[in-house]
Structure 1
Amino acid sequence: MSAESVLTEVRGRIGVLTINRPKQLNALDVGTLEHLEAGLVQLEQDVNVRVIMVTGAGDRAFVAGGDIADLNSRRGLAHYNEFAQVVHRVFRRFEESDKPTIGVINGWALGGGMELLLALDIRLVAEEAKLGLPEITLGLFPGAGGTQRLIRQIPLCRAKELMFTGDQITAVEAVALGLCNRAVPRAQLWDEALALAERIANKSPLVLKLLKRNLRYGGEMPLGAALAHEQAMIGLVLDTNDAHEGCDAFLAKRTPVFKGN
């Protein structure tokens, strides 16, 4: 597997990961997942990168799923050791990244593609795209975090319907369900996603990091504990120079300059 299966680039303060297997509809195999993880680590370690965008090559698919032939070649223990551990680790790495992530869903997001989408912070989707978890039609069920992330992000009855039937949904339906932020004409998708990334990149990277951690950990706590956690985290924020730069700029009626400290 060539490292070209994932392209990593930096555009100013924006990092871009492109899954680059258009002939395979950007299907995920172990090599591609490992290169995706390596690209994420590279962008996380780049202090100039403030937002990370994830998309698929071509105009047909974001990620059309896992590599079925590869999956069919395995039995349970081999799958657990050779694929499942990798895909869970990589998707969790995206979910836990301290930098905001934006999914630019340019086409089909099926199976593993939808499971990757569920691990990203913000999702913009082309109007022509279709989303779904079709694993049940293969005698399987979602095994890359989809069963657990989906039931935490949309109503349980709708999550069950999607997984029990394997039906695909449109971009408009995905937005209505809360799976995606908005549907955008394909020709405008990249520009709109990039503009959104730039708006977020203008904010304090340190405060975004603390905010993401507050949301991630608080979401796994009972409300009382989550509120106490928030109280502590906002105290940390008020110890940052960026917080006082933001307040000073507001009072002086000027644009803040956040330096991440």
Structure 2
Amino acid sequence: MNFKNILSETSNGIATITINRPEKLNALNKDTINELHQAVKKADEDASIRAIILTGSGEKAFVAGADISEFSDFSVSEGGQLAAQGQAVLFDFIATLSTPVIAAVNGFALGGGLELAMAAHFRIASENAKMGLPEVSLGLIPGYGGTQRLPELVGKGRAFELIMTAGMIDANKALDFGLVNHVVALEELLPFTRTLAEKIMRNSPMAIAAAISAVNAGYEVGENGYDVEISEFGKCFGTADFKEGTQAFLDKRKAAFTGK
């Protein structure tokens, strides 16, 4: 599959998808969002891929925001459609993906870039990373899930402050807020993220997918996370991974999970 705005490579069961628009600081436009959807979908459908890493090209930016030139003249209905399509095609799609997605945040993650990172299951940042949602400085609000996912991660008060001031925080403040899980040197970002992906890959893909479903349910309106947990827990007993995992434990050996 040929892409114009992203790079996608697979190695040892890990798919690394890189937003590659360095001249635009990797800003998201419609084509890039669609390409990311295609690449993530393809990786998720490949049983040999057990983890996905999202990152940006270069050393300056993960994604510096949305490509404002694409929507500066949009009407009310066009603006609503832009947000709805973007959430459905990419941001919600990633958040509910059964394959773990880790954002390796290298540099600026602003606006849609931070929203993309927040849609991932968790985030690792380089020491030079800076994050924020500056949309109100443009007369907008975050439209790709930022008003929902940021409070979930950092709390309502901190989310309001970041959104209302349109300010940026550095990597260490993001770590303090719980927005990212780890901060490492830029040259260590991808190796460190791959090490975490490899740890994930030792475990049951079926169980991980079930855990993603259960955790997400706790944040969905109208869903009872405990009920989903019970249901997903029960389903695990019908998988080959469960049989392999428990037998390996009893045999005192490492499990060889197949994701079935």
TM-score, normalised on structure 1? Answer: 0.94
Aligned residues: 258
Q: Residue 154 of structure 2: SS of its match in structure 1? A: coil
User: What is the CA deviation profile of residues 55-101 of structure 1, one whole-angstrom value per residue up to 9, with x for unaligned ones?
Assistant: 011110000001122221322222333x3233111111001111110
Residue 103 (structure 1) shift: 0.2
Partner of 2:247: 248
Q: Residue 15 of structure 1: SS of its match in structure 2? A: strand
Call closer, same or farther: CA 1:163–1:218 in 2, change over 3 Å: closer
Partner of 1:152: 152
Report the Cα distance in structure 1 between the residues aligned to 2:25 and 2:73, rounded to whole angstroms. 20
User: What is the CA deviation profile of residues 176-198 of structure 1, one whole-angstrom value per residue up to 9, with x for unaligned ones?
Assistant: 11111011111111100011111
Report the Cα distance in structure 2 between the residues aligned to 1:233 and 1:98, rounded to whole angstroms. 13
Partner of 2:60: 60
Mapped pair 1:9 → 2:19: no
Report the Cα distance in structure 1 between the residues aligned to 2:43 and 2:244, rounded to whole angstroms. 26
Partner of 2:257: 258
Partner of 1:183: 183
Residue 226 (structure 1) shift: 2.7
Matched residue type, 1:123: R
The 5 A counterparts of 1:80-159 are 80-81=80-81, 83-89=82-88, 90-159=90-159
Residue 222 (structure 1) shift: 7.8
Q: Is there any run of 5+ residues in structure 2 with no aligned partner, and where?
A: none
Partner of 1:69: 69
Residue 159 (structure 1) shift: 0.4
Partner of 2:226: 227
**What's the RMSD between the two structures over aligned residues?**
1.6
Q: Residue 123 of structure 1: SS of its match in structure 2? A: strand
Report the Cα distance in structure 1 between the residues aligned to 2:250 and 2:185, rounded to whole angstroms. 39
Report the Cα distance in structure 2 between the residues aligned to 1:69 and 1:219, rounded to whole angstroms. 33
> Contact 2:47–2:259 (CA<8 Å) still a contact in 1?
no
Matched residue type, 1:195: T
Partner of 1:38: 38
The 5 A counterparts of 1:192-211 are 192-211=192-211
Residue 149 (structure 1) shift: 1.4
Report the Cα distance in structure 2 between the residues aligned to 1:200 and 1:50, rounded to whole angstroms. 8
Call closer, same or farther: CA 1:221–1:251 in 2, change over 3 Å: farther
Q: Residue 169 of structure 2: SS of its match in structure 1? A: strand
Report the Cα distance in structure 1 between the residues aligned to 2:202 and 2:42, rounded to whole angstroms. 21
Moved over 4 A (4+): none
Q: Residue 39 of structure 1: SS of its match in structure 2? A: helix
Residue 154 (structure 1) shift: 1.6
> Contact 1:17–1:55 (CA<8 Å) still a contact in 2?
yes
Identity of aligned residues (%): 36
Q: Which moved more, 1:232-241 or 1:61-70?
A: 232-241
Residue 221 (structure 1) shift: 6.3
Q: Residue 197 of structure 1: SS of its match in structure 2? A: helix
Matched residue type, 2:249: F
Residue 162 (structure 1) shift: 0.2
Report the Cα distance in structure 1 between the residues aligned to 2:71 and 2:158, rounded to whole angstroms. 27
Report the Cα distance in structure 2 between the residues aligned to 1:237 and 1:209, rounded to whole angstroms. 10
Report the Cα distance in structure 2 between the residues aligned to 1:222 and 1:138, rounded to whole angstroms. 33
Report the Cα distance in structure 2 between the residues aligned to 1:165 and 1:131, rounded to whole angstroms. 13
TM-score, normalised on structure 2? Answer: 0.94
Report the Cα distance in structure 2 between the residues aligned to 1:42 and 1:158, rounded to whole angstroms. 36
> Contact 1:204–1:258 (CA<8 Å) still a contact in 2?
yes
Partner of 1:20: 20
Q: Is there any run of 5+ residues in structure 1 with no aligned partner, and where?
A: none
Q: Residue 72 of structure 1: SS of its match in structure 2? A: coil
Q: Residue 17 of structure 1: SS of its match in structure 2? A: strand
> Contact 1:56–1:63 (CA<8 Å) still a contact in 2?
yes
Call closer, same or farther: CA 1:254–1:221 in 2, change over 3 Å: farther
Q: Residue 98 of structure 1: SS of its match in structure 2? A: coil
